[in-house]
Each structure stands twice: as C-alpha cells, then as structure tokens.
Amino acid sequence: MPELPEVETVRLTVWPELAGRRISQVLIQHPDVVGGADRTAEFVEWLHEATFTGVGRRGKYLILEMRRPDGKGGGQFEVLVHLRMTGKLTCAEPADDQLPHTHLRLCLDDGRELRFADTRRFGRWTLLSGEPGCKAPRGYQELGLEPLGEGFDAPALGARLQGRGGKIKAMLLDQRIVAGIGNIYADEILHRCGLHPEMRAAQLGPDAVARLAATIPAVLSEAVGQGGTTIRDYVDGRGRKGDFVYSLRVYGRAGEPCLACGHAVAKATIAGRSTFFCPVCQPAGRGG
DNA sequence: TAAATCCTGTCA
DNA sequence: TGACAGGATTTA
C-alpha cells in the first residue's frame, strides 16, 4: 500500500499527537508484528514508560525516536515501522472502535492510543535498542538515495543506475537504488518522463537520467502535498484518505485515454507488477 | 531475473 | 473459484 508520500503523510500527521508523550502501556495482540513471540518481552520492556522524542522517515520506513526514563541504551533508541501493503498507523481515543486486524496498541499518558492495524500482516515493527543482536533489517541498511533529501540529483542517480542491465521500472522499484518508490509512483514518474517501463537502464541517455532526477522528487512531493494516494486501504495518522488518486495520469487507467495524447493507456506485467503506460507518450527503444 | 512466499480481502 | 492487490525477501 503505502509508498513514500503515504508514509511521509503518516509521519506528519502522527507526530503532533505523539510529541513528548509517554507510553503507559504496550499491548501486542499479534506477536508476528514485532518478529515473533520470542521478541515481545524485549519489545515491551523497552517501550513501556518510554517517551517519544521524534518521528523520522527513511524511504518507506517510519522511525519512532524514543527516550527511556532510566537512561538504558544511552537513553535514546529507535523503533522502525514498515507498513508494507495494508498497514495503518493511527491515533485514536480509547473509546474509538478498533479497526479490524489491529495488532499493536501503544497507550499514551494523555489517555489516547497509537494503533497499528494490518489486514495482511506483512507490516513489521523492529526495535533498534543498540544492544547486540538487535539490528535493522537488511532492506533498511541497504536503502539507496533519499528522493526528498539533500544530494538527490542527476549525477547521483546516474551513478546508481550505472552498469545496471535491468528494466527501468524494476530499477525504480529497487529500494537499494532510490528509496521510497512503489508501483503507483514508478508508473506515474515514467509517464511524466516519457520513458517506456521496459527500457533498459543502460540505454538511458543523460537527458533521460536528468528528467528522472527532476521528476522523481517532483511527483513524490506533489503527492505529499495531496496527502498521498488512496486506492483502497491507505489512511493517514488521523484516518483520512489521500487525494493524489485524482492526479494519477496512468496508474489504474487501463483503456482510458492518456491525458496527454488521448491514446488508450496500456496495461502489462513488467518486473512482476501491474504496469500502466501510454504506448505513444512512452515509446519503446528511445532513451532521450 | 523470475517465481514463490508471507497473509487476507475483494472482485470478476 | 481464481486472479489480483500499493511490498520485500528468499529461492531457484
């Protein structure tokens, strides 16, 4: 479900609710979320009585920044949250009905709760206490360029794509190259760049790389401004849907006219994922 | 580099 | 009943 703009919107909407709050109770209703039953005790031990000092983001990972009252772990530690396909992180009043498939609840000292619901249970919370054996998932360690961060430009992107023989769509989905792009935004970015999704990364000329380097942050930040994209499940930290779905130019529009040229939008499976593109605006074999 | 896998829900 | 869904990892 959530790609960078959705995760960033969740970050922006939960932080005001969490700033300075202390966790009074940790309720784990499905241990898989924290990595299995043998990790729950450690997870609860660290989070109970901890205070929120910040909420960050890297790619599609949310980073809960915490401080312990007893100074354990040097006082500071982090929890990584990945929503995967159907994860929802929301702040709620205790009296609010629980969403179906609520797996984890953090009760706060103001009486409210941070809740995690995830239908398909792919989402994961990872404790980074700094203790041995408590390390970040490899996917997090290997994250590539941050599209909305400093230093995201054509030379940096070109260097990451250098020597890669794969299809450009697969390259955009590879979190080790650029962090945060998923299936929706990959298609939207390629359409705006006029690049066929099956173009090989090695075929891309400097103009195409420059267009990608400019378009990636432009599309993602525009989507953040719209509160992300809700196709079905996604909601922000306040339970609201995102409006960028109304700005999508190709994703989910198979057979409908391209908004640029009027030709029917095509659908194909590329890199194992449903892919939408305009055969006229995104011709095969030209890398600009 | 592709397919299978982890899950549940929805739609044709 | 089978295909498919916004993700990522593991296996072949």
- CA A32 to C1' B4, whole Å: 21
Query: In A2-161, which ranges are continuous DSSP H helix?
Result: 4-18, 37-47, 138-141, 154-161
Whether A5 and A244 have beta carbons less than 8 Å apart is answered as: yes
**Which bases along strand B come within 7 Å of a protein CB atom?**
1-4, 6-9
* Proportion of chain A above pLDDT 90, given as a percent: 92
Q: A79 is written with which tokens? A: 């929890």
pLDDT tens-digit readout, A17-34: 999 999 999 999 999 999
pLDDT class of A257 with cuts at 50, 70, 90? very high
Please give the single-letter amino acid code of residue A89.
Answer: L
Q: What's the confidence (pLDDT) of residue A288? A: 55
- The answer to whether some atom of strand B lies closer than 7 Å to the beta carbon of A30 is no
- CA A277 to C1' C11, whole Å: 31
> pTM of whole model > 0.95?
yes
Mean per-residue pLDDT, A191-198: 97
pLDDT tens-digit readout, A83-102: 999 999 999 999 999 999 99
pLDDT class of A73 with cuts at 50, 70, 90? confident
Residue closest to B4 C1′ by Cα: A272
Residue closest to B6 C1′ by Cα: A122
Strand C: protein residues, Cβ closer than 7 A: A 1-3, 6, 59-60, 82, 84-85, 120, 122, 137-140, 173, 175, 182-184, 228-234, 242, 273-274
Q: What's the confidence (pLDDT) of residue A115? A: 98
- CA A161 to C1' B8, whole Å: 36
